[in-house]
Amino acid sequence: MVEIKLHDIGEGMTEAEVTHFLVKPGDKVAVDQPVVEVSTDKMTAEIPAPQQGVVKELLVEEGKTISIGTTVVVLETSGEAERETAATVELEKEPVKAEAPLVQSFEVTAPDRRVKAAPYTRKVARELDVDIEEVEGTGVRGRITVEDVKRYAEPVPESPDEVEEQMEATTENLETIPFRGRRKQIANKMTQSLFTIPHCTHFEEIDVTELLNIKQELKQEELSISATAFFVKAVSVALQEFPVFNARLDEENETIRLIKEHHIGIATDTAQGLIVPVLKNVEEKSLQTIHEEMKALTQKAVENRLKREEMTGSTFTISNVGPLGGSIGATPIINYPEVGLMAFHKTKRRPMVVNEDEIAIRSMMNISMVFDHRVTDGGTAVSFTNRVQTLIERPYLLFVDLK
């Protein structure tokens, strides 16, 4: 027998939810064939079979949260299956008397259809109580999309009376959303952060007019660099001068470890929830490189294709909610165990006093700097924020620090 166990699929992961079994007892599986889908706060992953064999038993119920090392599936290897078959044949060698000729019957079972669908699509199907094998895929090479599942689940009224009955449904039929998987894992991590870290938030207003002008000039030269790339670079330059915000608090050993590498987490809103891909070694990269790598990472996050190493190891996180029509300000939750997070909010054009007594239309943006008050104080946070502000308001200074 071979036991398939939950292994570590992410940094710091101690548990995961069993969201869906991809096999059932009696199924034959090949080496590396996915047998179960699990979810953590950062990712959804499939655990493969390490050997060829037959599924003997499923030991965990779907929807249950288990810890690392828990056995999920018991697999009977081909050798064991052959020995069991041989023993059965030996028993059947004993002659059997019968009044009429024996007719041996065979039940032919069609092999399971390997459904082409992403883990998130399967999750939506389960939540909508849809048998995904009955859904016709309209994606590339017949791949089933979320829209296919929702379209299949949508009831088609057969008569005007049925439509009327649906409209007269009472409020007792409340809609519910499952609180499990990634949503539950995110909740657990946010709770851990809030209950562990004494959060303090500093707000500042930044004039991004010059940055947007440079961005437009680069675009005319066919060089597309997002505003977020400028923000990431500005934060990295400021972290070189204020390393206490790129650190880890080790309470057990009573030390604050300053980290030299700047691995910046990019908070990304996706259909699966909040995901934070990590841009590694920002301190060594140019604006163009930052822009290209960040664009690739966020796209993979939206498509739920991030690898483990692309979601772990962040030392500081930024959140740019401006493009979403974000608010004037917010008090984000620190990405534990980091000690700082900076959020960039909506940009608005409005009249501002410049050159002491002149009024001009400028593009203004608010930012929120959240920090761990155990590690540093408000004065240092203000100085750090002021440095980021200077670099963004005078973006040509960033070109001095290009690698």
CB 117 within 8 A of CB 144: yes
Looking at the structure, give the CATH architecture of the domain made up of residues 2-109: Beta Barrel (2.40)
Which tokens hold the place of 362?
A: 């400028």
Q: For position 34, what pLDDT does the model report?
A: 87
Residue 195 predicted with pLDDT over 70: yes
Contacts of 44 (CB under 8 A, 6+ apart): 19, 37, 38, 119, 120, 123, 181, 182, 272, 304
Q: What's the pTM value of the predicted model, to 2 decimals? A: 0.62
Residue with tokens 């990019």: 266
Quickly state the pLDDT bin for 359 (edges 50, 70, 90): very high
CA distance 224 to 214: 11
Domain with CATH 2.40.50.100 in the chain: 2-109
Class assignment of domain 197-401? alpha beta
Q: For position 199, what pLDDT does the model report?
A: 94
b/e per residue, 93-123, with b = 16+ CB within 10 A?
Answer: eeeeeeeeeeeeeeeeeeeeeebebbbbbbb
pLDDT tens digits, one per residue of 88-146: 445 444 454 444 444 343 333 434 456 777 777 887 888 888 888 888 888 766 778 88
Residue 170 has phi, psi (to 5 degrees) of -80, 170
pLDDT tens digits, one per residue of 24-59: 898 888 888 888 888 776 677 788 888 888 999 999
Least confident of 59-68, 81-90, 205-214, 322-331: 81-90
Residue 235 predicted with pLDDT over 90: yes
Encode 371-388 in three state secondary structure. EECCCCCHHHHHHHHHHH
Question: Active-site positions?
Answer: 373
Domain with CATH 3.30.559.10 in the chain: 197-401
Please state whether beta strands 358-372 and 316-320 pair in parallel, antiparallel, or not at all (unpaired): unpaired
CA distance 47 to 317: 29
